[in-house]
Amino acid sequence: MISIVTVSYKTTDYVYAMLSSLFKHAYGAEMEVFVVINGDGTDSGELQAAFPTVRFIVSDKNLGFAGGNNLAIAEARGEFILLVNPDVVFTENAIQGIRDRMRRDADVGVGGISLKNPDGSQQDCVWRFPTPIDQLLLMLKVPHLFPNVGPIRRYLMKDFDYAVTQDVDQVMGAFFCIRRETLAQIGLLDDGFFMWYEEVDFCKRARNAGWKARYYADVSVSHRKAGSFRRVGTFKKQGMVRRSLRRYMKKHHGNAAWFLFVMLDPLFVLLAVIASIIKPQ
């Protein structure tokens, strides 16, 4: 069985579309489905009535991506736990697809698939593990001026062939399949990350424990990139990114890297203010 988990924060309209497409395409797959209403105060009664087989968990507090998912993961019974963003739309039986491939590949702890833009084009959905250099360049907005600078091209894997199934450092959390044994070994998502970098941290911990992350090119869904976060302002989103980045740096690159990002945070805030003026959402 596969356990499917989605976390909603003011995205019940997206969740409705996602669940409708899931049940349309997920034939022949034994599954349980959880929706976590993540402390947003919305009334999910109509959604629950429309999908009576779905298990709804309502949190009084917004626990972030990791914390919200962990609520359902703790109750999930599947051999695989699939985290799916509300802004995903199923266009094929990707549930059976990812399950069958990960059953075949016993060394894979985390599986991801090809994410397509709504127009059908390929979406960037794999990256290398972050380093202090490439993340510093991102925080300084260097790619806006020099998009092809070496460390950024390396981090964003601009040379990646999305037509080929292969092992990667990390896959996007929008469709993130975790093997039960991997969870048992390394634990839940780190809910110290409120938003962003939590799936990167999980892939890094899985790699350190001997598991592989694999991108499966022959399975796909449609994903409205950042659709779940369009209702959050740019300045607020960038504050979440900076906090999570500092945590990631401390966990995986040590106190010196963490201190560098702490010291430069006022500059990052100034750049975030400018970005929020240029791009409010």
Distance CA 221, CA 115 (A): 5
Say if residues 172 and 65 touch (Cβ distance below 8 Å).
no
Residue labelled with tokens 């975030």: 272
Residue 147 binned pLDDT confidence (cut-offs 50, 70, 90): confident
Per-residue pLDDT reduced to its tens digit, 197-228? 999 999 999 999 999 999 999 999 999 976 55
Say if residues 116 and 221 touch (Cβ distance below 8 Å).
yes
**Sign of the CA dihedral with 173 first, then 206, 113, and 29 last:** negative
Say if residues 15 and 227 touch (Cβ distance below 8 Å).
no
Q: Where is pLDDT greater, at 175 or 226?
A: 175
Distance CA 183, CA 93 (A): 24
Nearest to 80 by CA among 227, 215, 171, 178: 178
Whether the model pTM is above 0.85: yes
Cite the DSSP H helix spans in 122-176: 132-139, 142-145, 150-156
Q: What is the pLDDT of residue 228?
A: 56
Q: What is the pLDDT of residue 15?
A: 97
Per-residue pLDDT reduced to its tens digit, 231-251? 555 667 788 899 999 999 999
Distance CA 216, CA 209 (A): 21
Q: What is the pLDDT of residue 14?
A: 96
Distance CA 45, CA 60 (A): 15
Q: What is the pLDDT of residue 3?
A: 98
Say if residues 262 and 250 touch (Cβ distance below 8 Å).
no
Q: What are the chain's domains?
A: 1-122+162-226 (3.90.550.10), 129-161+232-281 (no CATH)
Nearest to 126 by CA among 111, 139, 137: 111
Cite the DSSP H helix spans in 157-254: 180-186, 198-208, 234-253
Q: Is the pLDDT of residue 39 over 90?
A: no
Per-residue pLDDT reduced to its tens digit, 84-123? 999 999 999 999 999 999 999 999 999 999 999 999 999 9
Q: What is the mean pLDDT of the chain?
A: 93
Q: What is the pLDDT of residue 144?
A: 82
Q: Is the pLDDT of residue 275 over 80?
A: no
Q: What is the pLDDT of residue 236?
A: 74
Taking CA atoms, 201 is separated from 63, 205, 234, in Å, by: 17, 6, 23
Q: What is the pLDDT of residue 98?
A: 97
Nearest to 64 by CA among 174, 195, 176: 195
Distance CA 41, CA 55 (A): 18
Q: Provide the 3-class DSSP secondary structure of residue 210.
A: coil
